[in-house]
Amino acid sequence: MSKRPWGFVVGGLLVALLLAGVVSNYASSHPDGLDSSLLKGCTVDAEGEITGGSCPAQQERDHELADSPLADYGVRGLDNDFLSTGLSGVLGVLLTFAVGGGVFWLLRRRGAQPPTAGAQSPTADAQSTTAGPQPPADDASRAARSR
């Protein structure tokens, strides 16, 4: 068996929290490559609102969830910009890890049973039949090589 990844994952999360919670405040506030390309041909005021001209972004509409408490990477009601951006980043990292980690944990192959022995839940069974005999073979060959 290979080493467990948990120590690395915790360390990586701390780095991500630091980046999103603190370093994010020093990010460039200029429009990104997509935004700036879409504004080409239009004139824009200091607020970033289109004031004239013709450009791909002129039909842009508001986001469906523009009033979300974390919209635009800030915490609504928090006046301190530094804290607002940082806290939204920290919440975003934790939420993304929870959603992503949760989904991937539920989707993962369980144990190392051969395909015929893996028939516990109906879904797992259906998956393993579509996946065919490849994963165990793959695993075995990898394990063999790493020995």
Partner 1 sequence: METLAMHISNGIVNGPVAAVFAAFALAVLTLCVLRGRRDLDDRLAPMAGLVAAFIFAVQMLNFPIFTAGVSGHLLGGALAALLVGPWVGALCVAVVLVVQALVFGDGGVAMLGLNVTNMAVLGTAAAYLLIALLLRVLPRTPAGLAVTAFVSALVSVVVASQGFVLQYWLGGTTDLGGNLAGLAGTMAGVHLLIGIGEGLITATTVVTVAKVRPDLVYALRALRPAAPAPVVPVAGGAR
CB of 132 to partner 1, least distance (A): 9
CB of 141 to partner 1, least distance (A): 8
Half-sphere exposure of 76 (CA within 13 A, CB side): 8
Q: Which is nearer to partner 1, 37 or 121 (CB)?
A: 37
Q: How far apart are CA 60 and CA 67, in angstroms?
A: 17
Q: How far is CA 21 from CA 7, 14, 66, 77, 91, in A?
A: 21, 10, 22, 18, 9
Binding to partner 1 in span 59-78, by CB under 8 A:
59-66, 68, 70-74
Residue 116 found at the interface with partner 1 (CB under 8 A): no
Q: Which is nearer to partner 1, 83 or 97 (CB)?
A: 97
